Amino acid sequence: MGWFFLSQACSFLLSFVRIIRLPEQDKIVEILILRQQLDILLRQQDKPIRPSRVQKMLLAVLAAKLKEVTNNPANQLNSILRLFKPETVLGWHRALVRRKWTFTRQNRGGRPRIDGALEGLILRLAKENPRWGYGKIEGELRKLGCEASQTTIRDILKRHNLQTASVRNCSIGWKNLFAHYKGQLLACDFFTVETVLLKTLYVFFFIEIGTRRVHLAGVTANPTQAWVTQQARQILWKLDDETPRLRFLIRDNDGKYSDAFDTVFTSEGFHVLPTPFRAPNANAYAERRVRTAREECLDRLLILNDAHLQRVLNEFTERYYNIARPHQGIDQRCPIPYGQPQHSSSIQRRDVLGGIIHDYYRSPAVPPSTC
Mean of pLDDT over the chain: 80
Q: What are 161-184's pLDDT values in tens digits? A: 887 666 555 555 556 666 677 888
Alpha helices by DSSP H, listed for 298-348, are: 306-316
Distance CA 170, CA 238 (A): 43
- 358: which residues sit within 8 A by CB, 6+ positions away? 349, 350, 351, 352
Q: pLDDT at residue 285 above 90?
A: yes
168 by DSSP, 3-state: which? helix
pLDDT at 13: 75
Q: What are 62-94's pLDDT values in tens digits? A: 666 666 555 555 555 555 665 667 677 677 777
Other Cβ atoms less than 10 A from the Cβ of 298: the count is: 20
206 by DSSP, 3-state: which? strand
Backbone angles phi, psi at 228, to 5 degrees: -65, -40
Specify the range with the lowest mean pLDDT, choosing from 148-162, 245-259, 332-346.
Answer: 332-346
